[in-house]
């Protein structure tokens, strides 16, 4: 049994959608599927996803998303900047495969991309967190245009959404999850057998325990 390491092409990755960050007004905007930050030193676009190995069921996927929105709000409160109208609300997640990330480097429509990969990297106590790193070729000038093209390409490989309402948000009159749109690859479907899903849960529980007890470091 392997806990960490290379993320296989066929493994699922998830992107949690949080209101209002992934929205334009009240409507979901797939152009905001990912936030990509440019690191000039490494000529890289950096983002984040969650690895399905450590969110082995939809319940775990949504727990992650609810924690994500909660911590965003807590940071805002701690900084004295929290406003109820800007409260972060987790709405659901979209799925894509590892191979969709790596295919960016060979896409005819993305000549600026030198390499693309996703790497397991525990961050802020979240074992499922991964780093998305897309390295651009020297001389790439239109960074914002490249970001847009990358997000469009990745959106084309997404399935979902997996809509959700966190317990703290169930009292909202109009929950923004209702505006999530169906991804180009269609609805998400967990095609794993019962026994495979069970094995994935057991593997997660063992790896998570080993990590919590400092017997294994990703």
User: Is residue 5's pLDDT more than 90?
Assistant: no
Q: Work out the average pLDDT over 43-52.
A: 97
* Residue keyed to tokens 């479907």: 189
Q: What is the pLDDT of residue 76?
A: 93
Q: For residue range 103-136, what is the model confidence (pLDDT) as tens digits?
A: 999 999 999 999 999 999 999 999 999 999 999 9
Q: What is the pLDDT of residue 196?
A: 95
Element (H, E) at 150: helix 143-155
Q: What is the pLDDT of residue 167?
A: 95
Q: What is the pLDDT of residue 45?
A: 97
pTM of the model: 0.95
The DSSP string of 62-118 is HHHHHHHHHHHHHHHHHTT---GGG--EEEEEEEEEHHHHHGGGG-TT-TTEEEEEE
User: Is residue 156's pLDDT more than 90?
Assistant: yes
Q: What is the pLDDT of residue 32?
A: 96
Pull the structure tokens for residue 95.
């799925």
Percentage of residues in the chain with pLDDT exceeding 70?
Answer: 100
Q: Work out the average pLDDT over 100-104.
A: 97
- State the chain's mean pLDDT as an integer: 94
Q: For residue range 77-93, what is the model confidence (pLDDT) as tens digits?
A: 999 988 888 899 999 99
């Amino acid at each position: 049994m392997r806990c960490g390491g290379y993320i296989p092409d066929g493994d699922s990755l998830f992107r949690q959608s949080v209101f209002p960050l992934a929205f334009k007004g009240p409507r979901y905007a797939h152009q905001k599927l990912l936030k990509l930050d440019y690191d000039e030193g490494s000529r890289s676009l950096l983002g984040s996803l969650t690895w399905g190995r450590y969110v082995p069921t939809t319940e775990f996927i949504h727990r992650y998303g609810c924690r994500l929105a909660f911590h965003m709000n807590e940071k805002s409160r701690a900084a004295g900047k929290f406003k109820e109208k800007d409260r972060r609300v987790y709405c659901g997640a979209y799925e894509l495969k590892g191979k969709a990330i790596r295919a960016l480097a060979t896409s005819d429509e993305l000549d600026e991309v030198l390499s693309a990969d996703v790497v397991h990297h525990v961050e802020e106590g979240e074992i499922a967190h991964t780093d998305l790193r897309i390295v651009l070729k020297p001389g790439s000038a239109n960074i914002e245009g490249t970001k847009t093209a990358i997000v469009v390409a990745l959106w084309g490989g997404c399935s979902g959404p997996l809509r959700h309402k966190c317990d703290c948000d169930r009292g909202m009159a109009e929950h923004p999850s209702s505006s999530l749109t169906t991804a180009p690859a269609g609805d998400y479907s967990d095609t794993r057998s019962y026994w495979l899903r069970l094995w994935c849960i057991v593997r997660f529980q063992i790896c998570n325990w080993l990590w919590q007890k400092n017997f294994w470091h990703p």
